[in-house]
Amino acid sequence: MKEKLKDDKFAKSLLYKFISVLVIAIVTLLLLNVLTQDKDGRRQIVDEDGGTEYTSAQTSSYISREEARLAEILSTIKGVGEVDVMITYKDTQAVKSVFANEKSSDQRDVKGVIVTASGASSPVVKNNIMNAVAAVFDIPIQNVMVFEKNEEGYK
């Protein structure tokens, strides 16, 4: 069979045409995929454990500003000391329409908050932090976790 294909010029020509069409089709599909990707401002975030997630640059800056603001306010409470905050959000995003400007805005619901604070060893300080966070985000106090900050760094 191989000898027959080596001698048959028509079969060789047909095989080369088929391979050429196949390569052109693959290149065309790859180009279409690249050119039609949504350019919505997403960026990839790689976690310390190697996991990745995609988030909007605008949303992540809003979240980090919100966490920074909360940390700043909590650190001014008597006895709290240095504070780090992490806020988690529910998956659903409610979009509400503002009729005056005909714009949409994302309203994110807080699911829970983790706070580490230098002064969290005191039950009174810990309770004050929990009450403050629960009041700010209108979430149950069970969704607020407060831990004493490790002053020695990570072990």
Q: What is the mean pLDDT of the chain?
A: 77
What is the model's pLDDT at position 102?
A: 40
Which tokens belong to 146?
Answer: 């407060």
What are all long-range contacts of 136-145, with beta carbons under 8 Å and residues at least 24 apart? 136/70, 137/87, 137/110, 137/113, 139/110, 139/111, 139/112, 139/113, 143/110, 143/111, 143/112, 143/113, 144/112, 144/113, 144/115, 145/112, 145/113, 145/114, 145/115
Question: How would you class 133 by CB atoms within 10 Å of its CB: exposed for 0-12, middle for 13-18, buried for 19 or more?
Answer: buried
**Cα–Cα dist 143/139, whole Å:** 7
Q: 89 and 67 in contact (C-beta within 8 Å)?
A: no
What is the model's pLDDT at position 132?
A: 94
- Residues 8-34: what's their mean pLDDT? 87
Q: 148 and 118 in contact (C-beta within 8 Å)?
A: yes
Q: What is the DSSP letter of 77?
A: S
Strand pairing of 52-56 and 42-46?
A: antiparallel
What is the model's pLDDT at position 109?
A: 85
The superfamily CATH assigns to domain 42-148 is: ANL, C-terminal domain (3.30.300.30)
Whole-model pTM: value is 0.52
Question: How would you class 3 by CB atoms within 10 Å of its CB: exposed for 0-12, middle for 13-18, buried for 19 or more?
Answer: exposed
Q: Where are the domains of the chain?
A: 2-35, 42-148
Q: 133 and 111 in contact (C-beta within 8 Å)?
A: no
What is the model's pLDDT at position 74?
A: 93
Does 55 or 1 have the greater pLDDT score? 1
- The pLDDT of residue 29 is above 60: yes
Is residue 47 very low, low, confident or very high in pLDDT (cuts 50, 70, 90)? low
pLDDT tens, 74-125? 999 999 999 999 998 886 444 443 333 444 445 678 899 999 999 999 999 9
What is the model's pLDDT at position 147?
A: 94
What is the model's pLDDT at position 95?
A: 40
Does 129 or 54 have the greater pLDDT score? 129
